[in-house]
């Protein structure tokens, strides 16, 4: 039986929509079914920034009351695919706090992976819900580049000029960001602090950056009502995730409502660890550009008062 034409339909199920190609005519254009973001985080990024062209996939789940993780696969406005992992930590939630992770749970300079560091912190009464890497460091000695403050005591005081700074919490549990100029005024009330490099937000203003490279990035920011966001964007793998500029990390956190933000170590140091709420196992959620978690100088854990 003769056919005047053969029509085929190819349904390409992307994570972010369904595209239908029709072979009826050569000039038929693909029909794309858009997928609206379903999480609050993705909705804020779409509505309050120009960073996201399309959301392919987004999901949020609770690790503990006051602690949420959002995973997001999206297309950037520049046409790159990206994967972001976001921790939202409400420090107003009773029993939820931040605690520095260091190699072997000590104060000597060394290097250890984040999954190994949390083993020295997680115990009855202080259970680790999640953890991320923090400061840049000397890759030979493990010495952090900036401030280290643990339990109200200075482990390392030296703070370099030129954009170096620190993120931490004071003795009242308030998040803060400081640098060489603010340290003297903040030091007597510091509880915990770890370093970073490049201020991203200063009183809701995005800080301009000269480094425009697109790399895997990690950053931290906080709102006026004590909500802390840790944001990690994977990169260095074109078909999976490409990364972000430093300045765009500031725009990302601003869209989430952050007032202040600081860039942390990224690249192969990126490590986003959670205690999975369903399987009760430690899980590194991001893809490491090194192929496995890197041994780093320190990190932040989100802990809960649990037996």
21 has a pLDDT exceeding 50: no
- Give yes or no: residues 43 and 112 share one domain: yes
CA 157 to chain centre: 26
Nearest-angstrom CA–CA distance, 57 and 164: 35
Range of the domain at 1: 1-34
- Full DSSP string of 217-277: EEEEEE-TTSEEEEEEE--SBTTTB--B-HHHHHHHHHHTT-SEEEEE--GGG--EEEE-T
In a shared domain, residues 231 and 293: yes
Pick from 94-98, 143-147, 160-164: least confident: 160-164
Residues 234 and 105 in one domain: yes
DSSP alpha helix (H) spans, 148-204: 183-186
Q: What is the pLDDT of residue 47?
A: 97
186 and 103 within one domain: yes
Q: Is the domain of 152 the same as that of 211?
A: yes
**Mind listing the pLDDT tens digit for each residue in 183-234?**
999 999 999 999 999 999 999 999 999 999 999 999 999 999 999 999 999 9
User: What is the pLDDT of the chain when averaged over all its residues?
Assistant: 91
In angstroms, the CA 169 to CA 177 distance is 8
Instruction: Quick: pLDDT tens for 122-156.
Output: 999 999 999 999 999 999 999 999 999 999 999 99
**Same-domain status, 141 and 228:** yes
Is the domain of 242 the same as that of 132? yes
Give the closest residue to 49 by CA, choosing from 231, 278, 281.
231
- Looking at the structure, do residues 26 and 41 belong to the same domain, yes or no? no
Residue 34 confidence (pLDDT): 63
Number of domains in the chain: 2
pLDDT at 300 over 80: yes
Same domain, 188 and 60: yes
Do 229 and 178 lie in a common domain?
yes
Please say if the pLDDT value at position 246 is more than 50. yes
Same domain (yes/no): 130, 208:
yes
Same domain, 166 and 273: yes
pLDDT of residue 301: 99
Confidence of residue 12 (pLDDT cuts 50, 70, 90): very low
Of the chain, the percentage scoring pLDDT greater than 70 comes to 89
């Amino acid at each position: 039986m003769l056919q005047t034409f053969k029509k085929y339909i190819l349904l390409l199920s992307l994570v972010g929509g369904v595209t239908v190609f029709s072979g009826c005519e050569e000039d038929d254009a693909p029909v794309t079914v858009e997928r609206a973001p379903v999480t609050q985080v993705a909705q804020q990024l779409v509505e309050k920034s120009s960073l996201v062209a399309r959301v392919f996939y987004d999901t949020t789940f609770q690790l503990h009351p006051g602690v949420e993780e959002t995973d997001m696969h999206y297309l950037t406005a520049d046409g790159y695919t990206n994967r972001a992992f976001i921790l939202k930590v409400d420090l107003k939630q009773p029993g939820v706090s931040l605690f520095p992770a260091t190699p072997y749970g000590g104060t000597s300079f060394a290097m250890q992976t984040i999954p190994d560091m949390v083993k020295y912190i997680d115990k009855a009464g202080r259970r680790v819900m999640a953890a991320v890497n923090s400061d840049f460091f000397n890759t030979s000695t493990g010495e952090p580049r900036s401030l280290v403050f643990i339990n109200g005591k200075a482990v390392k005081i030296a703070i370099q000029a030129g954009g170096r700074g620190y993120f931490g919490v004071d003795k009242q549990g308030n998040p803060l960001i400081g640098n060489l100029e603010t340290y003297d005024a903040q030091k007597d009330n510091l509880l915990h602090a770890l370093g970073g490099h490049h201020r991203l937000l200063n009183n809701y203003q995005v800080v301009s950056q000269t480094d425009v490279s697109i790399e895997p990035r990690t950053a931290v920011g906080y709102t006026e009502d004590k909500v802390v966001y840790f944001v990690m964007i994977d990169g260095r793998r074109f078909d999976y995730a490409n990364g972000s500029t430093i300045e765009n990390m500031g725009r990302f956190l601003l869209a989430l409502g952050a007032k202040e933000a600081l860039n942390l170590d990224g690249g192969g140091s990126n490590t986003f660890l959670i205690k999975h709420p369903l399987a009760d196992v430690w899980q590194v959620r991001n893809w490491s550009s090194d192929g496995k978690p890197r041994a780093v100088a320190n990190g932040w854990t989100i802990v809960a008062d649990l037996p």
